[in-house]
Amino acid sequence: MIRNAAIVALTLLLVNCCKKTTPTDCEPASNPITGCENTLTTTEMNGVSMVAISSAIDSSAFIPVTKINATWVSIIPFGFIPSNSSTVQYNQSWQWYGEKRQGLIETIILAKEQGLKVFLKPHLWIHNIWVGDLEFTNETDWQNFETSYATYILDYAHLADSMGVEAYCVGVELKKTVHRTAFWNSLIDSVKTFYSGKLNYAANWDNYDKVTFWNKLDYIGIDSYFPLSESKTPTFDECYAGWESDFNKIKALSLNENKKVIFTEYGFRNVDYTGKEPWEDNSNSTFNSQGQVNAYQATFCRFWGESWFDGGFLWKWYPDHPNAGGETNNRFTPQNKPVESIIKETFAATND
């Protein structure tokens, strides 16, 4: 019993060394993140989700993106469904410049001029409800929605192909529509007839296992806002442990589908309890940079060293970098906050 206890104690000592010391204190390790037990490896997509511009910009808006060693940018042309309607509207005169076709074209050109790869991610916005709650009570409305939505997706897929956009998303968080399998299969098949890049769908974190058409796509995409910890300031260890169950489920799906996973969105706010409900974007009067840092670090450590995981797009990044974010801003953007240096170092260490 004494011998066994000694072995256990030694094992715990070694584990704690790997988790809590700097890389020079515990071998092997080559990570930019103190406390990361996995050796971070190269990944395909180290990206940011760019907020649509309200007016014309120049390529300088993308220089800060490259300075954090990002290699991809997600560009989001929003479509809209008015209240009590089933028709998707897009490229409307009242939309922001970057959401309309010409602004979108210019944004893609500017990103590519800085050497960034582009993930075009059309996303619906619906007045008064979350897009994941979108559903209809009769077949007529369903058919109208699917027809207008297909027009929206196919139009921007043609644009993406004509501009050499490297990856394209056929849908985002449409939780209550994925059971319409025939529609999604048909839509994906139609896009594949002309679009030559990588195809994806961005499932919400609580619905990715209900998507039936992963086999038709190049990636399993997840908008990753999984709860990690209920602590006011979650520690690295708490966040790392908080990933355990979902990490295993995501890995199992990836292996079962033989598809790599990307986080089509991920992020944490610099607020108290940032790991409790990471999807929450309501007003909050707290500021907590350490919690944000710990949650990001644990997420990088969990996933960026896995062969079946191919990176993701942090949420979110504003074109006017000098005036974005900061420690007195507790929204999602990591810009000009302590966590930005963690992101920069991790992207540098894991760029493919």
Average pLDDT, the chain: 90
Cβ neighbours for 127, distance < 8 A, ≥ 6 positions apart: 80, 81, 82, 83
Residues 87, 88, 90, CA angle at the centre, nearest 5°?
A: 140
Q: What is the pLDDT of residue 4?
A: 41
Q: What is the pLDDT of residue 57?
A: 86
pLDDT tops 70 at residue 37: no
What is the predicted pLDDT for the residue at 18? 36
Q: What is the pLDDT of residue 28?
A: 30
- Provide DSSP, 312-337: EEEEEE-S-GGGS--TT--SS--TTS
* CA angle (222 as vertex; 102, 233 as ends), nearest 5: 110
Q: Are 274 and 293 in contact (CB under 8 A)?
A: no
Q: What percent of the chain has pLDDT over 70?
A: 90
Question: From the CB of residue 100, how many other CB atoms can be counted at a distance below 10 Å?
Answer: 18
Q: What's the rounded mean pLDDT across residues 61-80?
A: 97
Residue type at position 243: W
Distance, CA of 182 to CA of 212 (rounded, Å):
10
Amino acid, res. 342: I
Res. 266 pLDDT band, cuts 50 70 90: very high
Tell me, what's the pLDDT at 21?
A: 33
From residue 271, alpha-carbon distances to 162, 237, 286 in Å are 42, 18, 5
Non-local CB neighbours of 27 within 8 Å, separated by 6+ positions: none
Q: If pLDDT is split at 50, 70 and 90, which confidence band does 276 have?
A: very high
Cβ pair 265, 49 in contact under 8 A: yes
Q: What confidence tens digit (pLDDT) does each residue in 122-171 have?
A: 999 998 899 999 999 999 999 999 999 999 999 999 999 999 999 999 99
Q: Which of 51, 53, 44 has the alpha carbon at shortest distance from 332?
A: 51
pLDDT average, residue stretch 302-328: 95
Structure tokens at 160: 């993406």
Distance of alpha carbon 343 from alpha carbon 94, whole angstroms: 35
Q: What's residue 3's pLDDT?
A: 38
Phi, psi of 213, rounded to the nearest 5 degrees: -120, 25
Mean pLDDT throughout 200-228? 98
Domain ranges for the chain: 1-30, 42-350
d(CA 116, CA 108): 9
Position 342 scores a pLDDT of 96
H or E, element range at 296: helix 289-303
Which amino acid appears at position 228 of this protein? Answer: L
The helix (run of H) or strand (run of E) holding residue 171 is strand 167-172
Q: What is the pTM of this model?
A: 0.90
301 pLDDT more than 70: yes
- Neighbour count for residue 134 (Cβ, 10 Å): 18
pLDDT tens figures, 91-110: 999 999 999 999 999 999 99
pLDDT confidence of residue 163: 98
The superfamily (CATH) of domain 42-350 is Glycosidases (3.20.20.80)
Averaged pLDDT for residues 24-45: 62
